[in-house]
Structure 1
Amino acid sequence: MTIRRANAPVTWGVWGPHSLPAGREPADVLRAVADAGYDGIELGALGFFGHDEEVADTLGSVGLVSAGAYVPLRVFEGEEALAADLAALQDVARVLVLSGATGPLILAEETVPSIKRHVARGGRHPELDLDDDQWRELVRIVRHAVALTEDAGLTASYHPHTGTHVEQPGEVDRLLESTDVGLTLDTGHALAGGDDPVNLARRWAGRLNHVHIKDIVVAPVHRASRDGTEFGIADVSVPLGEGDADLVPFLDTLRTQHYAGWIVVEQDRRPDGGHDHAAVDREQARNLAWLDDHIPYPPDHRGHTEENS
């Protein structure tokens, strides 16, 4: 039973192939992740670490492996937008295969500005909820995306995400009940969306196949939702153990469920945040140290983790 530890480009403010903050290169991100002691990294935007066979060589040059990749889908923005995203999904799948990825292809709906202004809205603003026909369309598209992923020889996972139609507990449950896709549980997005990460892990233990561990301060989320101002998870992300997410009970739950797979540290940042790059690098080393102190199975000498018998 193994757990492997990764980080992701979004921690360094990478939201797209050209959004790396000034003064940083993709190689700098890889070196920071490797030097901190992580086992792998999610790929981020298509092309960020190179193309096709280049990706495996680039990651391998610093001793990292691919922990999966995130693909957002513009489900309700017209046929042309969706077709472009599904084509991108197939491109990402090809790169994951060529890079020998052991993590999943992570699906999500692209964020919706009107929902980002009312995160965790509960029963407020019912005009933002999907009707039954729209739910059927979302389920159809997710099933199609899963089929494309599996046709490529990969595992699919769905990431409930704030600012989308699948952020709140009832929405997450409805999607998972309607499909057989795996679950990427992001502790920060779950908490911001009104869920309890521990409860979510227990509700869907049999579907949980990928973890994003993220800590957030939740009060600004509630304030933004109340005021109708746009919310971004990068604005409330903090180092592990310093926010409001119950991360230790969450990791204990993974232990009791014998979770095996990737735990990906994410501390989202905006690309234009004026970051102190060296400080970010040091912070991610501290995040890994925190994780290793609380991880269900202690790291062995290679940094991999195995359940004690």
Structure 2
Amino acid sequence: MSIRIGANPIGWSNDDLQEIGGSTPLETCLAEAKEAGAEGMEKGHKLPNNGAALKDKLAEFGLAFVGGWYSTELLKRSALEEFEAAESHIAMTKAAGASILIAAETSNAIHGDRQRPLSERPRLAKGDWAAFGAKMTEFAKRLDGEGLKLCYHHHMGTIIQSERDIDAFMAHTKPPVHLLLDTGHARWGGADPAGLARAYRERIGHVHCKDVREDKMRQSNAEDWSFLDSILGQGAELGVYTVPGDGMIDYVAVFKALKGYSGWVVLEAEQDPKKAPTLPYAKKGIAHLRGALKEAGLV
């Protein structure tokens, strides 16, 4: 596959707080992503849930389907129950032509709750990692039988947020579980994205690229904001996340650590489009990714 650059609609319309960018037409998102240089698109709430319709809609804009988020509840149910619950998502993904399923445990997550600060995020007890990891591995094996690769998304406000969480998750899961390296969530969660890339290169199956405004991250941490308040920003101010090249992450270092990676590199930036015009930011982010990939020798 080599490396292809995609985008996530969350840079145009927020999925967790749908009124943010709610008035932005889907067609604007897809046209701007294409104009900025994206080759593919991940699933957003405004895209069709039927796989064939999804594929056709993206094809109108010359875009391929990359894959989509699936919320697991493996802390509450078995791997078989999870696999059965994912039936429609699996069918959509295959019909739309993608080969990955982006999974994140959300049964007790708080990232979608604007009233809860990130200090209240859930944590998994030391004795619970083995059982959780075994169920995630079984779920991944069932997906593998369907021709889909499970890529686990570490995420602020969930049980897998910090570097220690990621290390524990990787230690207690086995292939075919892959890691989705999200540079923005990694950095805000306290990890070095390039360090994670070096440590888990052989099991990284997908990459999300968003940048971090260091001053906003430090303010959020110090004042203990919720995830949503953090990404939206206070008043007229911008939030924690932005596009690559507009924050503190060294993408050349990340991509050098990913030498040999083949797959999608996906542009993200959870921002309020009223404060952060979508097309200029998308163009800036993709241009920066292209430059960093070239400097790192990946393209």
TM-score (norm 1): 0.80
Cα deviation, 1:142-183, whole Å, max 9, x if unaligned, reads 224313422321111111111111111121111111112111
Match status 1:59 vs 2:63: no
1:250 aligns to what?
254
User: How far did 1:263 drift?
Assistant: 0.4
Unaligned runs of 5+ in 1: 120-124, 299-304
1:101 aligns to what?
98
| 1:97 alignment partner, SS class | helix
**Is the 8 Å Cα contact of residues 186 and 213 (structure 1) preserved in structure 2?**
yes
Which whole-Å CA distance do the structure 1 matches of 2:10 and 2:85 have between them? 19
1:146 aligns to what?
140
Change (3 A) 1:98 1:17: farther
Change (3 A) 1:274 1:199: closer
**Is the 8 Å Cα contact of residues 68 and 101 (structure 1) preserved in structure 2?**
yes
2:27 aligns to what?
27
Out of 239, 261, 264, the position equivalent to 2:263 is 261
Which whole-Å CA distance do the structure 2 matches of 1:17 and 1:146 have between them? 29
Which whole-Å CA distance do the structure 1 matches of 2:94 and 2:295 have between them? 28
**Is the 8 Å Cα contact of residues 4 and 264 (structure 2) preserved in structure 1?**
yes
User: How far did 1:87 drift?
Assistant: 5.1
**Is the 8 Å Cα contact of residues 73 and 86 (structure 1) preserved in structure 2?**
no
Unaligned runs of 5+ in 2: 232-238
Which whole-Å CA distance do the structure 1 matches of 2:54 and 2:31 have between them? 14
| 2:201 alignment partner, SS class | coil
Change (3 A) 1:51 1:252: same
Change (3 A) 1:133 1:244: same
Q: Mean Cα displacement is larger for which, 87-96 or 257-266?
A: 87-96
Out of 163, 167, 170, the position equivalent to 2:164 is 170
| 1:56 alignment partner, SS class | helix
Cα deviation, 1:175-195, whole Å, max 9, x if unaligned, reads 111112111101110011110
**Is the 8 Å Cα contact of residues 50 and 58 (structure 1) preserved in structure 2?**
no
| Corresponding letter in the other structure for 2:286 | L
Report how many residues are paired. 284
What is the CA RMSD across the aligned residues, in angstroms? 3.1
Which whole-Å CA distance do the structure 2 matches of 1:101 and 1:153 have between them? 10
**Is the 8 Å Cα contact of residues 109 and 122 (structure 2) preserved in structure 1?**
no
2:41 aligns to what?
41
User: How far did 1:88 drift?
Assistant: 5.3
Out of 87, 90, 101, the position equivalent to 1:90 is 87
**Is the 8 Å Cα contact of residues 213 and 266 (structure 1) preserved in structure 2?**
yes
Change (3 A) 1:244 1:7: same
**Is the 8 Å Cα contact of residues 112 and 164 (structure 1) preserved in structure 2?**
yes
| 1:143 alignment partner, SS class | helix
**Is the 8 Å Cα contact of residues 123 and 158 (structure 2) preserved in structure 1?**
no
Match status 1:283 vs 2:287: no
Cα deviation, 1:196-237, whole Å, max 9, x if unaligned, reads 001110010110111111101234334433443323462301
| 1:13 alignment partner, SS class | coil
Change (3 A) 1:155 1:20: same
Which whole-Å CA distance do the structure 2 matches of 1:128 and 1:72 have between them? 15
TM-score (norm 2): 0.83
Cα deviation, 1:219-262, whole Å, max 9, x if unaligned, reads 433443344332346230123222111222112222xx211111
Which whole-Å CA distance do the structure 1 matches of 2:12 and 2:250 have between them? 24
Question: Where has structure 1 moved over 4 Å in runs of 4 or more?
Answer: 16-20, 85-88
